[in-house]
Amino acid sequence: MRHSSAASRLAAPNSPPRRECACAVAGARTSASPPPGPRGGSEPGGTMFTSTGSSGLYKAPLSKSLLLVPSALSLLLALLLPHCQKLFVYDLHAIKNDFQIWRLICGRIICLDLKDTFCSSLLIYNFRIFERRYGSRKFASFLLGSWVLSALFDFLLVEAMQYSFGITAASNLPSGFLAPVFALFVPFYCSIPRVQVAQILGPLSITNKTLIYILGLQLFTSGSYIWIVAISGLISGLCYDSKIFQVHQVLCIPSWMAKFFSWTLEPIFSSSEPTSEARIGMGATLDIQRQQRMELLDRQLMFSQFAQGRRQRQQQGGMINWNRLFPPLRQRQNVNYQGGQQSEPAVPAPLEVSEEQVARLMEMGFSRGDALEALRASNNDLNVATNFLLQH
**CATH code for the domain of 173:** 1.20.1540.10
Cα separation, 371 vs 313, in Å, equals: 15
The answer to whether residues 24 and 54 touch, using CB atoms and an 8 Å cutoff, is: yes
**329 in a domain, yes or no?**
no
User: Are residue 97 and residue 242 in the same domain, yes or no?
Assistant: yes
Structural domain harbouring 165: 61-194+206-267
User: Are residue 109 and residue 215 in the same domain, yes or no?
Assistant: yes
Q: Please list the ranges in the chain whose pLDDT falls under 70.
A: 1-55, 169-170, 274-351, 390-392
Q: Write down which residue in 267, 283, 306 finishes a domain.
A: 267
Q: Which residues contact 41 (CB under 8 A, 6 or more apart)?
A: 18, 19, 20, 21, 22, 47, 50
The answer to whether residues 127 and 160 touch, using CB atoms and an 8 Å cutoff, is: no
- Radius of gyration of the chain measured on its C-alpha atoms: 24
The pTM (predicted TM-score) of the whole model is 0.61
Cα separation, 139 vs 57, in Å, equals: 14
Q: Write down which residue in 267, 292, 310 finishes a domain.
A: 267
**171 in a domain, yes or no?**
yes
Cα separation, 335 vs 338, in Å, equals: 10
Cα separation, 149 vs 242, in Å, equals: 14
| pLDDT value of position 287 | 56
Cα separation, 392 vs 389, in Å, equals: 6
Residue type, 303: F
User: Are residue 241 and residue 379 in the same domain, yes or no?
Assistant: no
User: Are residue 76 and residue 176 in the same domain, yes or no?
Assistant: yes
Compute CA 244 distance to the chain's CA centroid, rounded to the nearest angstrom: 24
Cα separation, 248 vs 230, in Å, equals: 20
User: Are residue 257 and residue 378 in the same domain, yes or no?
Assistant: no
Residue 82 CB coordination number (10 Å): 11
Q: What are phi and psi of 268, to 5 degrees?
A: -75, -45
Q: Which residues contact 85 (CB under 8 A, 6 or more apart)?
A: 77, 78, 112
How far the first Cα of the chain sits from its last, in Å, is 30
**281 in a domain, yes or no?**
no
SS3 assignment, position 319: coil
| pLDDT value of position 55 | 61
**What are the contacts of 282-286 at 24+ separation with CB within 8 A?**
none
User: Are residue 73 and residue 180 in the same domain, yes or no?
Assistant: yes
Overall domain count for the chain: 2
Residues in the chain: 392
| pLDDT value of position 354 | 78
**259 in a domain, yes or no?**
yes
Cα separation, 22 vs 41, in Å, equals: 8
Task: List strand residue ranges (DSSP E) for the chain, in order.
Answer: 90-91, 172-173, 196-201, 204-207, 337-338, 341-342
